[in-house]
Chain A
Amino acid sequence: MMAKAISRIIEAVVVALLILAAFSISSYLILPPNTPHQRASQDLTKFGYNLLSSLAANEGFDQLIYDSSGRLKEGWEQQLKVVINSLIPHNIIFNITVYNATLNELGFVDLKELNSVAISNAEDEFGRANEAVFLKAGENAQISYVYTTRWMKVIVINMKLALLGSA
C-alpha cells in the first residue's frame, strides 16, 4: 500500500518535471513569425535590386564592364568593386559574381563566370570573398539580376549582401 502510494507520487513528480521541462525548452524555441531578421533581409533584398536596377537603367554596367568595342575592360572587376563599395552603406558587405549567359546546342542556358578575381569588400588574405564573414553577419540576401548589354550580350549579376551587426 505504502509502496504504491510512493510510486504514485514519484510518477506525479516525474510528469510534472516533464511538463515543466517542455515549457522551459519551448520558451527558448518559440519565435514569432516574421522576426526582425527576416524583415532585415527583405529590405536588404529590395535595397540590392534597387541599387542594381539604378546602375542598369542608364547603361552603367556597359560603362563599367565593357569597352567601346564590346570587349571586357581590363581591371573591370576592381572598378565595379570601387563603384558598388562607394554606393552602399558601411555596414553592408557584398560579393558579386558576373556570369555570361549563352544558349548551348541543347537550348539550355550556360553560365560562364566572367570575373577572374573576387568583387567583394570582404576578402580573405588570398583575395577571395571571405564566406565566414557572411555567415557571421547573420542577415544575408542573394540577388540575381539579368542585364542585356548594348551589344546584346546577356549577363547575370549575382550579388550577395550581408548586414554586419545583425546576427
Chain B
Amino acid sequence: MSPTYEYIVAILITVMMVGYTYYSLTSMTSSQLQLVEEEQLDAVAERLFDKILLTQGSPEDWGSNLYVNNTSLKDLGLSLKHGGMYELDVDKVMRLYPGSTEILNPLYINSTTFGTLAGLYDRDRGYWKYGFRLSIKTALNMTIERADSKSPTEKFRVNVKNYMDKPASNAEVKGTYIAIYIVKQGNQEYFDYSYTTIKNMTDWSGQTILDFKNNIPSVPQGSQNAYCLVVTANYYGLQSQNSIIDNEIKTLGLTIQGKYLIANFTQVEDIARGAHHLELTALELTSSLNIILNPAIDVTNGKAGKIVNYGGKNYRVYELQNPPSQDVIFVGLLVKKLGKWGLVFASRPRTPVAVDYMSVGIPSAGIKTVTMSRIVKIGENSYYTELTLWRTSE
C-alpha cells in the first residue's frame, strides 16, 4: 500500500476522532449544564433559607432598633438573639410588613434591600438575578365565630386547620374570655380586667364550641366594659393563637411597630363615622396568656391626644411606656364611640399571614422554581415558613 493512502487514512481517523471528541464533549457538557444549574438553584435556596431563619442579621437588634433602616441594615436574618434553633424575632418579622393602604409601615425593610443583602438583586445594574417569595403564616389557621347573638356572646365556634389546610382533629383548644372595664369612683376612673378560661378538643372536622354560659367574666356593676376572647389551639406541639372582640370598633385600625401604636380612622360603609375616644392604657396579651397593662403616650402633634376621627385627627401615634416583650402577641386599646365602649386589637406578628414578602415579578412559565418549607417559632407559637426561589432568566 502506498504511504500516501496510509497518510490519507491516518488523517481521516484523526479528523474523525477530533470531530467526535468535540461533539461528545459539547453534548456532555450541555446535557450536564442543566443539572449543574438546577443544583445551583437548590443550593442557593437552601443557603438563603438557612441565612434567613438561622442568622440574626447585622446589627443583631435591627428589629427593635429604630435607627436601623434600609440604608444602615448590613445583613438580614430573622433569628432571635439568644433564641433556640428556628426561633424568630417578632420585631424583625414585623419589619417585613409594608403596612396597609392607609398606614404605611415607617420601619419597613423593603425587598430590594433584602435582595441586595442576600445577593439576589444587582443594585448597580438594577435587576433581580433571582426572584423570591417568603411567606410566614400561622401553623394552625384558626377561625372564631360567634355561635349566638347574646351580649356578651356566650358561645363561640372555633375551626382549626393546619398549615396544609387539613382539619386539625383532636387539637386542644383553650379559650380565655377577657372583660376589660372602667370603674368610676368619684372623680377617679380606674381600668381593670377579669377573665375566665375553658378548654375543649376539636372533633374530626377540626371544630369545637367554647361555651362560656356559666363562665362569663364578671364586671363591676355600672362599669363601662368590653369583651374579647383569645383562643389558643395546640395540635400535638404546634400552637397558634387568635382573638375575637365582642364589641369591635370596626372604624378604627390599630397597628403596632416596635414600641409605637398607630391608631387610624378606617372608613366602613353603613357605619357612622363618629369620634373615637381612646383609653391610653394598652392591654398586652402574651402567648402564655398573661395580661400586661402598659401606659401609652401620645407622640403625635396636637392636643386632642385621645381622639381619632374622620378629618383632621384621622390617625394618632402612641408610644408604649415599656417596649413590648417578645412574647406579646396582641396589644389592645379600649375605645369609646358614640357612647359605647369597645376594643381594638393589633396582633404581633400579624395573623394568619405574618409575612408575604417578595421580589418584583413572578416566575414566568417554564422557569424552574425551588420551594422549601420549615416550621419556626415566634414566642410560644408555631409558624409555617415557605421560601420560593427562581432565576429571573434561564
A86: chain B residues at CB < 8 Å are 162, 164, 166-168
> In the assembled complex, how far is the CB of residue B282 from the closest CB belonging to chain A, in whole angstroms?
28
> In the assembled complex, how far is the CB of residue A41 from the closest CB belonging to chain B, in whole angstroms?
11
Bound CA–CA A30/B169 (angstroms)? 50
Which residue of B has the minimal Cβ distance to A28? B28
Q: A8 at interface (Cβ–Cβ under 8 A)?
A: yes
Taking each of B13, B31, B166, which has the highest tally of chain A beta carbons within 10 Å of its own beta carbon? Answer: B13
Q: Which residues in chain B, 103-150, are within 8 Å of chain A measured between CB atoms? A: 139
A57: chain B residues at CB < 8 Å are 237, 377
A55 partner, pick from B6, B31, B236, beta carbons under 8 A: B236
> In the assembled complex, how far is the CB of residue A56 from the closest CB belonging to chain B, in whole angstroms?
7
Bound CA–CA A16/B6 (angstroms)? 15
A16-B16, A82-B169 known; A43 vs B42 contact (CB < 8 Å): yes
Q: B72 at interface (Cβ–Cβ under 8 A)?
A: no
Q: Which residues in chain A, 47-106, are within 8 Å of chain B measured between CB atoms? A: 47, 50-51, 53-61, 63-64, 79, 82-83, 86-89
Q: Is the interface of A mostly helix, strand, loop or mixed?
A: helix
> In the assembled complex, how far is the CB of residue B29 from the closest CB belonging to chain A, in whole angstroms?
9
Bound CA–CA A61/B236 (angstroms)? 7
In the complex, the answer to whether A58 meets B237 with C-beta atoms within 8 Å is: yes
Which residue of B has the minimal Cβ distance to A34? B39
Q: Which residues in chain A, 1-26, are within 8 Å of chain B measured between CB atoms? A: 1-2, 5-6, 8-9, 12-13, 16, 19-20, 23-24, 26
Which residue of A has the minimal Cβ distance to B380? A58
In the complex, the answer to whether A55 meets B28 with C-beta atoms within 8 Å is: no
In the complex, the answer to whether A60 meets B38 with C-beta atoms within 8 Å is: no
Q: B304 at interface (Cβ–Cβ under 8 A)?
A: no
Q: A148 at interface (Cβ–Cβ under 8 A)?
A: no
Q: A27 at interface (Cβ–Cβ under 8 A)?
A: yes
Q: How many A residues, CB 8 Å from partner?
A: 47
Bound CA–CA A94/B377 (angstroms)? 24
In the complex, the answer to whether B162 meets A35 with C-beta atoms within 8 Å is: no
> In the assembled complex, how far is the CB of residue B365 from the closest CB belonging to chain A, in whole angstroms?
19
In the complex, the answer to whether B375 meets A36 with C-beta atoms within 8 Å is: no
In the complex, the answer to whether A51 meets B375 with C-beta atoms within 8 Å is: yes
Q: B246 at interface (Cβ–Cβ under 8 A)?
A: no
In the complex, the answer to whether A56 meets B237 with C-beta atoms within 8 Å is: yes
In the complex, the answer to whether A6 meets B236 with C-beta atoms within 8 Å is: no
> In the assembled complex, how far is the CB of residue B292 from the closest CB belonging to chain A, in whole angstroms?
23
Query: Residues of B at under 8 Å CB distance from A?
Result: 1, 6, 9-10, 13, 16-17, 20-21, 24-25, 27-28, 31-32, 35-36, 38-39, 42-43, 46, 85-86, 139, 162-164, 166-170, 234-239, 372-375, 377, 382
Bound CA–CA A42/B50 (angstroms)? 13
A39 partner, pick from B16, B39, B163, beta carbons under 8 A: B39
In the complex, the answer to whether B236 meets A13 with C-beta atoms within 8 Å is: no
> In the assembled complex, how far is the CB of residue A11 from the closest CB belonging to chain B, in whole angstroms?
11
Q: A164 at interface (Cβ–Cβ under 8 A)?
A: no
In the complex, the answer to whether A50 meets B28 with C-beta atoms within 8 Å is: no
The 5 closest A-B pairs by CB, nearest first: A60-B237, A60-B236, A58-B237, A5-B1, A39-B42
Bound CA–CA A59/B13 (angstroms)? 73
Query: Residues of A at under 8 Å CB distance from B?
Result: 1-2, 5-6, 8-9, 12-13, 16, 19-20, 23-24, 26-27, 30-32, 34-36, 39-40, 42-43, 46-47, 50-51, 53-61, 63-64, 79, 82-83, 86-89
In the complex, the answer to whether A39 meets B372 with C-beta atoms within 8 Å is: no
A16: chain B residues at CB < 8 Å are 13, 16-17
In the complex, the answer to whether A54 meets B169 with C-beta atoms within 8 Å is: no
> In the assembled complex, how far is the CB of residue B38 from the closest CB belonging to chain A, in whole angstroms?
5
In the complex, the answer to whether A32 meets B239 with C-beta atoms within 8 Å is: no
Which residue of A has the minimal Cβ distance to B168? A86
A58: chain B residues at CB < 8 Å are 234, 236-239
In the complex, the answer to whether B86 meets A50 with C-beta atoms within 8 Å is: yes
Bound CA–CA A60/B374 (angstroms)? 17
Which residue of B has the minimal Cβ distance to A20? B20
Bound CA–CA A89/B38 (angstroms)? 21
B374: chain A residues at CB < 8 Å are 46-47, 50
29 interchain pairs, CB-CB under 8 A: A1-B1, A5-B1, A9-B6, A12-B10, A16-B13, A19-B17, A20-B17, A27-B24, A27-B28, A30-B32, A32-B36, A32-B39, A39-B43, A43-B46, A46-B374, A47-B374, A50-B374, A54-B139, A54-B375, A55-B237, A55-B238, A57-B377, A58-B234, A60-B237, A61-B237, A63-B236, A83-B236, A86-B162, A88-B164
> In the assembled complex, how far is the CB of residue A101 from the closest CB belonging to chain B, in whole angstroms?
21
In the complex, the answer to whether A31 meets B35 with C-beta atoms within 8 Å is: yes
A8-B6, A86-B164 known; A36 vs B237 contact (CB < 8 Å): no
> In the assembled complex, how far is the CB of residue A1 from the closest CB belonging to chain B, in whole angstroms?
8
Bound CA–CA A13/B163 (angstroms)? 65
Which residue of B has the minimal Cβ distance to A33? B39
A24: chain B residues at CB < 8 Å are 24
A23: chain B residues at CB < 8 Å are 20-21, 24-25
A36 partner, pick from B9, B38, B169, beta carbons under 8 A: B38
Which residue of A has the minimal Cβ distance to B165? A86
B9 partner, pick from A2, A12, A40, beta carbons under 8 A: A12
